[in-house]
């Protein structure tokens, strides 16, 4: 279906005003953000603000991340196109779609079955046949298809889950928010053999990673939905 000029322009403004102007340079990331229709991943009641400079609620006390954070985390993975990528926290499926555009194959794990189902439907409608969504506790990773050239966690972990480090390929990149439920630091880990280098990138505020290697429960007051 042909898109309206209004939506195309809204995405162009999002890329210029929120993403490129804040320092994202990877042209493949900018192109993916320019072409993937974010609004179809947003629940209908919020679709009119799908291109706003903000995270938005997607139900079940979860969010679709702010466009700039999606772009930043994607750029940090340094994808070239031949990677197998693991994403933890499918949510709406928007980040999985961006990764699907930039990598060979994406496995995306979500713990809430209703969100996984909804994301699968949207990704299928957009013909993303290299993105697979699975219902699982992603804090344990996904041994079946490991090792991964890149891993992204889009929920806040109290510490880096050990299985994710183990499932990262030699030379691979792992990007995730680490810290308290109220606020975290976005970190990038790079693996060289048995050594892992860590960079601390920026303060962020994600919903919690709940699971075996995450938090026991989601204790946030509802108003902390950023
Ligand atoms: N990447 C998503 C998008 O593009 O819409 C946004 C993710 S949202 C900020 C975080 C997601 O992580 C939520 O959907 C939440 O249910 C999920 N999550 C939390 N803990 C998880 C776990 N252990 N395994 C899988 N998903 C988890």
> Is residue 131, in this structure, part of any structural domain at all?
yes
89 lines ligand 1 (CB under 6 A): yes
Q: What atom of ligand 1 comes closest to residue 58's alpha carbon?
A: 5
- 65 catalytically annotated: yes
Rounded (10°) angle between helices 27-35 and 67-76:
140
| Ligand 1 center to 4 CA (angstroms) | 30
Residues 122-181 pLDDT 10s: 999 999 999 999 999 999 999 999 999 999 999 999 999 999 999 999 999 999 999 998
209 falls within a domain: no
| Stated pTM of the model | 0.97
Question: Of the residues 21, 44, 65, 108, which is catalytic?
Answer: 65
pLDDT score recorded for residue 219: 73
| Inter-axis angle of helices 67-76 and 94-102, nearest 10 | 40
Cis omega (within 30 of 0) for bond into 7: no
Cα gap 157→172, rounded to integer Å: 19
* φ, ψ for residue 205, nearest 5 deg: -140, 100
Structure tokens at 79: 């994808």
Containing domain of residue 132, as a range? Answer: 54-204
Q: Has residue 15 been placed in a domain?
A: no
> Is 114 a domain residue?
yes
Q: Please report, for the domain that includes residue 71, its CATH number.
A: 3.40.50.150
Ligand 1 atom with minimal separation from the 92 CA: 5
* Any domain includes 223: no
Terminal-to-terminal C-alpha distance of the chain: 32
Token output for 109:
């794990």
Q: Is 45 domain-assigned?
A: no
200 part of a folded domain: yes
Strands (DSSP E) contained in the chain are 56-59, 62-64, 84-88, 105-110, 131-135, 148-153, 168-180, 183-192, 195-204
Residue 13 Cα to ligand 1 midpoint, Å, equals 27
Handedness of CA 158, 161, 215, 156 (dihedral sign): positive
User: pLDDT of the chain along its 226 residues, tens only?
Assistant: 578 999 999 999 999 999 999 999 999 999 999 999 999 999 999 999 999 999 999 999 999 999 999 999 999 999 999 999 999 999 999 999 999 999 999 999 999 999 999 999 999 999 999 999 999 999 999 999 999 999 999 999 999 999 999 999 999 999 999 999 889 999 999 999 999 999 999 999 999 999 999 999 887 765 554 4
Residue 39 placed within a domain? no
User: Ligand 1 in contact with 206 (CB < 6 A)?
Assistant: yes
Domain count, the chain: 1
């Amino acid at each position: 279906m042909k898109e309206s000029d209004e939506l195309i322009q809204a995405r162009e403004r999002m890329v210029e005003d929120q993403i490129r102007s804040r320092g994202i340079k990877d042209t493949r990331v900018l192109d993916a953000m320019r072409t993937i229709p974010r609004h179809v991943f947003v629940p209908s009641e919020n679709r009119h603000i799908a291109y706003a400079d903000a995270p938005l609620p997607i139900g079940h006390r979860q969010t679709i991340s702010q466009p700039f954070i999606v772009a930043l985390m994607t750029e940090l993975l340094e994808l070239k196109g031949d990677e197998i990528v693991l994403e933890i926290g499918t949510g709406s499926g928007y980040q999985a779609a961006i990764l699907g555009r930039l990598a060979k194959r994406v496995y995306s794990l979500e713990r809430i079955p209703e969100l996984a189902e909804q994301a699968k439907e949207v990704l299928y409608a957009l013909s993303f046949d290299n993105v697979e969504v699975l219902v699982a506790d992603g804090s344990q990773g996904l041994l079946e298809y490991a090792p991964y050239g890149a891993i992204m966690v889009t929920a806040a972990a109290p510490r880096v889950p050990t299985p994710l480090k183990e499932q990262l390929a030699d030379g691979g990149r792992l990007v995730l928010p680490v810290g308290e439920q109220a606020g975290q630091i976005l970190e990038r880990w790079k693996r060289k053999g048995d050594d892992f280098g860590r960079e601390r990138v920026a303060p962020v505020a994600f919903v919690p990673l709940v699971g075996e290697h995450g938090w026991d429960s989601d204790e946030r007051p509802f108003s902390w939905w950023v």
